[in-house]
């Protein structure tokens, strides 16, 4: 391939084979680097991997994918790697949101006109707010597709940021410090409980925080991505296909992936990353691997642990001061198809009462397989429901198993209000807690979804891919543009461009 003739044969090690790490690794291998990827888990993919039970295939975390459309980030990267995009069907609606006590959902339709009609019917008087969001989305999306580096940390990064700016981008600038909550109040919508709750639910999924705190520019992107010409997709087979293809590309281009290999330490010398300590989980063997560049596909909290005493002090303090992050409680159900109502949308969100913050089983985000999508035997289906949970509840509890059982039963009772769940229709039940995520994805305390898209932590003010340690790069959902397979793929592309530069 032409890109490989520019080989610099520089050696890169990638810590973690999540979508961020694999994307960076596959791109670097394709551009001629010697790449070694290490992952502590059994299968690659991290939060976007799968597991199989009794003929069912369950997506561990991520269930819907953005960025598959022409020009979308997965599309761009798969085209560069010269590999086929996974087969997928668009989600329409992207989500059906049920507010407390309501039997008809708010459907986030894929068609922009249909979605406009739906929101005007659901939230009368809110259209000026939505129009602002649509304008911000248009300009922010165009800006992001010109590959800015955010936040910039040197002159080259700054140049990349500036080249992405156009007159339209300037329209977004005055909104840099606004939150969704503030803008709702400007439009006199602060007291619209249904609208606010709908936004809380949707934004919490994408930004980890509610409407009050989510940065407006981030929210515009998160909310706008569900409509054509963008959109959310359901992958044929399972989420695993995304990582499998990236691994195939990596290996085709001479890269190497070692599963069940834990990186225990990053070594630096004179402020520059030099090597890592690796432990082979099967043999217990520990060795050191040197590299020209080290790409860490871990949370920023995990990065601090890997650096240990070599972590730059200012950076460490910044990480320590981050607001506490959320974990996920997930139930994975294998069911008889008769448990699923007719015309069930692929993704649903339920809030069960208006009181209190969203979390701890009072809301569920639900993904349902459809016949022939490769996740369940004939006549069966998978139902995966997740809620936000405080990871400390799980790390400090005396009786972990009974708490997990209690959460599972509560979730199934909630789900039974919509699905026909009985001992006859329920074939398989399993649950994951922050402890499970900590074990299988290595994420600190099992936190998921990044650092939260509040003003002090989103885009221009977040954690850069370029760390203060030279030749050490951070890729994944702790960095811009945040969580999701599409988000972490952007961060991977940025790191690859920075390494090349």
Ligand X SMILES: Cc1cc2nc3c(=O)[nH]c(=O)nc-3n(C[C@H](O)[C@H](O)[C@H](O)COP(=O)(O)OP(=O)(O)OC[C@H]3O[C@@H](n4cnc5c(N)ncnc54)[C@H](O)[C@@H]3O)c2cc1C
Stretch of 2-10, 16-24, 167-175, 307-315 lying at the interface with ligand X (CB under 6 A): 16-24
- 446 lies in the site for ligand X, by CB under 6 A: no
- 297 lies in the site for ligand X, by CB under 6 A: yes
- 442 lies in the site for ligand X, by CB under 6 A: yes
DSSP 210: -
- 15 lies in the site for ligand X, by CB under 6 A: yes
DSSP 425: T
100: its two tokens: 């407390």
- In the complex, what is the shortest distance from the CB of residue 492 to ligand X, in angstroms, rounded to a whole number? 8
- 20 lies in the site for ligand X, by CB under 6 A: yes
Candidate list 242, 298, 381, 464; residue touching ligand X; CB under 6 A: 298
- Give whichever of 195 and 412 is closer to ligand X, judged by the CB atom: 412
In contact, 433 and 404? CB cutoff 8 Å:
yes
- Give whichever of 195 and 225 is closer to ligand X, judged by the CB atom: 225
Query: Residue 439: which of 51, 46, 61 has the closest Cα?
Result: 46
- 86 lies in the site for ligand X, by CB under 6 A: no
Angle in degrees, CA 430, 450, 351, rounded to 5: 55
- 389 lies in the site for ligand X, by CB under 6 A: no
Stretch of 35-43, 83-91, 129-137, 193-201 lying at the interface with ligand X (CB under 6 A): 35-43
- 302 lies in the site for ligand X, by CB under 6 A: yes
- 224 lies in the site for ligand X, by CB under 6 A: no
- 209 lies in the site for ligand X, by CB under 6 A: no
Sequence-distant (≥ 6) Cβ neighbours of residue 247 within 8 angstroms: 17, 22, 26, 44, 257
- In the complex, what is the shortest distance from the CB of residue 315 to ligand X, in angstroms, rounded to a whole number? 18
Stretch of 39-47, 134-142, 349-357, 373-381 lying at the interface with ligand X (CB under 6 A): 39-47
Q: According to the 3-state scheme, what is the secondary structure of 439-454?
A: HHHCCHHHECCCCCCC
Candidate list 32, 345, 346, 484; residue touching ligand X; CB under 6 A: 484
Candidate list 35, 41, 242, 427; residue touching ligand X; CB under 6 A: 41
Identify the bridge partners of residue 275 per DSSP, sorted by sequence position.
Answer: 267, 290
Q: How far apart are CA 54 and CA 484, in angstroms?
A: 28
Q: Name the maximum alpha-carbon separation found in the chain.
A: 64
- Chain centroid offset of residue 101 CA: 30
In contact, 241 and 485? CB cutoff 8 Å:
no
Q: How far apart are CA 279 and CA 282, in angstroms?
A: 9
- In the complex, what is the shortest distance from the CB of residue 246 to ligand X, in angstroms, rounded to a whole number? 11
Please give the residue ranges that form the binding site for ligand X (CB under 6 A): 15-21, 38-41, 46-48, 61-65, 262-263, 297-298, 302, 328, 330, 386, 441-443, 448-449, 476-477, 483-485, 488
């Amino acid at each position: 391939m032409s890109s490989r003739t520019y080989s610099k044969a520089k050696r890169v090690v990638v810590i973690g084979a999540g979508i961020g790490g694999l994307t960076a690794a596959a791109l670097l291998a394709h551009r001629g680097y010697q790449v070694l990827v290490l992952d502590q888990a059994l299968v690659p993919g991290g939060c976007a991997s799968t597991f199989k039970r009794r003929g069912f295939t369950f997506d561990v975390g991520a269930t819907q994918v953005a960025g598959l459309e022409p020009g979308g980030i997965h599309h761009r990267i798969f085209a560069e790697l010269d590999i086929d995009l996974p087969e997928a069907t668009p989600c329409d609606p992207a989500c059906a949101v049920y507010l407390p006590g309501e039997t008809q959902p708010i459907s986030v339709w894929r068609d922009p006109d249909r979605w406009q009609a739906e929101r005007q019917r659901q939230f009368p008087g809110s259209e000026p707010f939505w129009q602002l969001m649509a304008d911000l989305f248009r300009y922010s999306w165009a800006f992001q597709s010109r590959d800015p580096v955010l936040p910039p940390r040197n002159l080259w990064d700054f140049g990349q940021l500036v080249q992405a700016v156009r007159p339209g981008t300037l329209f977004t600038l005055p909104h840099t410090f606004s939150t969704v909550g503030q803008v709702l109040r400007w439009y006199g919508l602060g007291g619209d409980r249904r609208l606010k709750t709908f936004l809380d639910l949707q934004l919490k999924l994408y930004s980890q925080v509610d409407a009050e705190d989510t940065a407006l520019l981030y929210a515009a992107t998160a909310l706008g991505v569900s409509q054509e010409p963008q959109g959310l997709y359901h992958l044929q087979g399972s989420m695993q296909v995304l990582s499998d293809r990236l691994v195939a590309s990596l290996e085709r281009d001479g890269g190497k992936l070692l599963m069940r290999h834990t990186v225990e330490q990053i070594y630096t010398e004179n402020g520059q990353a030099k090597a890592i300590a690796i432990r082979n989980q099967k043999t217990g063997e520990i060795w050191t691997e040197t590299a020209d560049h080290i790409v860490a596909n871990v949370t920023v909290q995990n990065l601090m642990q890997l650096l240990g005493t070599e972590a730059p002090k200012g950076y460490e303090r910044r990480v320590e001061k981050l607001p506490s992050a959320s974990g996920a409680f997930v139930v994975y159900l294998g069911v008889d198809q008769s448990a699923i109502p007719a015309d069930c949308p692929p993704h649903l969100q339920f809030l069960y009462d208006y009181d209190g913050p969203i979390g701890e089983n009072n809301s569920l985000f639900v993904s349902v397989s459809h016949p022939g999508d490769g996740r369940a035997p004939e006549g069966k289906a998978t139902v995966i429901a997740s809620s936000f949970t405080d990871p400390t509840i799980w790390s400090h509890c005396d009786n972990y198993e009974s708490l997990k059982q209690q959460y599972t039963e509560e979730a199934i009772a909630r789900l039974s209000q919509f699905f026909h769940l009985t001992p006859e229709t329920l074939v398989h039940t399993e649950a994951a807690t922050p402890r499970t995520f900590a074990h299988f994805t290595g994420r600190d305390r099992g936190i998921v979804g990044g650092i939260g898209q509040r003003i002090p932590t989103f885009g221009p003010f977040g954690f850069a891919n370029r760390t203060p340690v030279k030749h050490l790069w951070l890729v994944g959902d702790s960095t811009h543009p945040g969580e999701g397979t599409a988000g972490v793929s952007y961060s991977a592309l940025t790191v690859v461009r920075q390494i090349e530069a």
